[in-house]
Amino acid sequence: MQTLQIELGSLVLKNPFMAASGTFGFGEEYADIMDLKVLGALVVKGLTLKPQKGNKPPRVVETPAGMLNAIGLQNPGLDSFLARELPRLNQQGIPVIVNINGAEENDFVTLARELQEAPGILALELNVSCPNVKEGGMAFGTSPVVLSGLVEKVKRVCRMPLIVKLSPNVTDIGEIARAAERSGADILSLINTIKGMVIDTHTATPLLGNLTGGLSGPAIRPVAVRMVYEVFQATGLPLIGMGGVTSLQDALEFFMAGASAVAVGAGNFVAPDTIPRLIADLQSYLENKGLNSPAVLTGLAHGRY
C-alpha cells in the first residue's frame, strides 16, 4: 500500500511537504485558492512573546532567481496568536507547527512553555537563524555553545517535538547540527535564508531599509542541498530540507541529500499552488517507480563515490 505519510521521529505528517515559516502567514492569505488541510504542515510566521512592528521598508527586493527579504519578524505576538490565529487554524483542521523567536533565552523558554498548553500544535520550530533582527535571531544559531545552552533550556519545558532551524551563515553547519543534536533537538530544519545585500547604484545606498536581508529562492538551492547533505552525515536526526524548492525535481534533490520532509518558501509567492502540485507529482513519481513511501528516498545520494 502506497502512502505519502512520513515520520520525523515522533512527528508524523500525512505528506512530506510543508509551507516554510514566513511564506504562508497564518494561513489566512491562501485559503481562497487552496484547501490548507492538504499541507503536510503549515509552519506559521515567526512568533514572538510581544507584538513586533517589523523593519522599515523597503523590505523585499528581487534578485537573480530569488529575492532578499528583511521583514523583521513582524507578528501579532503570543496572546493574539492564541486568541485569534490558532483557534481558526484548529477549526479548519490545519496541521500547525509554530516557529518561535526571541531576543533572549527566556523569551524562547516562555514561548515554548505557554505553547505546550495550546491545542492542535504538532511541533515547535526554534528560529535561531533569522538574519533580519537586531537582537537574538541568528546570534543563537551561529555559535555551538550558545545554541546548546538555548536548546537545553527550551527542551526542559517542551514536551512536543522540537525542531531547530539552522542558519547557513556559518563556516561548518555540521558542527552546529551536532551541537543541536547533543542538547536535545528532535528534528533539524535547514536552511534559513543567506544573508545578502543589494545596492541601489543611483543613490549609492543599500536598497533594503534594514541594509541587509535574507536571500531565498532557486538561487540558494545548491547551497541548501549541500548543507542538507553535510548535516545528514553529521547527525542522526531527521531533517526538513528547504531552499528554492519549486518542483518535484527540486524536492527529490533534498530527499536524496538526506531530508525526510521538504518545505516550500519563496516559491509559494510565485506559484501559490506549489505544494498541492508537489503532493500530486510525488504520488505519481512513487507509483511509476513502484515505491511504497517517500521515506525510501531519504539519503539515497550518500555513499555513491
The residues annotated as belonging to the active site are 130
Q: How far apart are CA 276 and CA 39, in angstroms?
A: 8
| 204 binds other proteins, rule: CB under 8 A | no
| 266 binds other proteins, rule: CB under 8 A | yes
Residue number, 86 or 220, with CB nearest to other proteins: 220
| 63 binds other proteins, rule: CB under 8 A | yes
Site for other proteins in 3-62 (CB under 8 A): 22-25, 28-30, 32-33, 45, 53-62
| 80 binds other proteins, rule: CB under 8 A | no
| 152 binds other proteins, rule: CB under 8 A | no
**Site size toward other proteins, by CB under 8 A:** 39
For the CB of residue 62, give the shortest distance to other proteins in the complex, in Å: 5
Segment near other proteins (CB under 8 A), from 9-17, 68-76, 106-114, 116-124? 68-76
- Among 15, 21, 69, 129, the residue binding other proteins under the rule CB under 8 A is 69
| 267 binds other proteins, rule: CB under 8 A | yes
- Among 144, 241, 258, 272, the residue binding other proteins under the rule CB under 8 A is 272
| 64 binds other proteins, rule: CB under 8 A | yes
Q: How far apart are CA 66 and CA 75, in angstroms?
A: 24
For the CB of residue 210, give the shortest distance to other proteins in the complex, in Å: 11
Angle between the N-to-C axes of helices 221-234 and 173-182, in degrees from 0 to 180, rounded to the nearest 10: 50
Neighbouring C-beta atoms of residue 269, cutoff 10 Å: 15
Site for other proteins in 217-236 (CB under 8 A): 217-218
Residue number, 53 or 159, with CB nearest to other proteins: 53
The DSSP string of the chain is -----EEETTEEESSSEEEPTTSSTTSGGGTTTS-GGGSSEEEPSPB-SS-B--PPSP-EEEETTEEEE-----B--HHHIIIIIHHHHHHTT--EEEEE--SSHHHHHHHHHHHHTSTTEEEEEEE---TT-SSSGGGGTS-HHHHHHHHHHHHHH--S-EEEEPPS-SS-HHHHHHHHHHTT-SEEEE--PEEE--EETTTTEESBTTB-EEEESGGGHHHHHHHHHHHHHH--S-EEEESS--SHHHHHHHHHHT-SEEEE-THHHH-TTHHHHHHHHHHHHHHHHT-S-GGGGTTTTTT--
- Among 12, 211, 271, 296, the residue binding other proteins under the rule CB under 8 A is 271
For the CB of residue 218, give the shortest distance to other proteins in the complex, in Å: 5
| 165 binds other proteins, rule: CB under 8 A | no
Beta strands 162-165; 121-127: pairing state: parallel
For the CB of residue 286, give the shortest distance to other proteins in the complex, in Å: 25
For the CB of residue 291, give the shortest distance to other proteins in the complex, in Å: 27
| 200 binds other proteins, rule: CB under 8 A | no
Which residues lie near other proteins (CB under 8 A)? 22-25, 28-30, 32-33, 45, 53-67, 69, 71, 74, 217-218, 246, 266-273
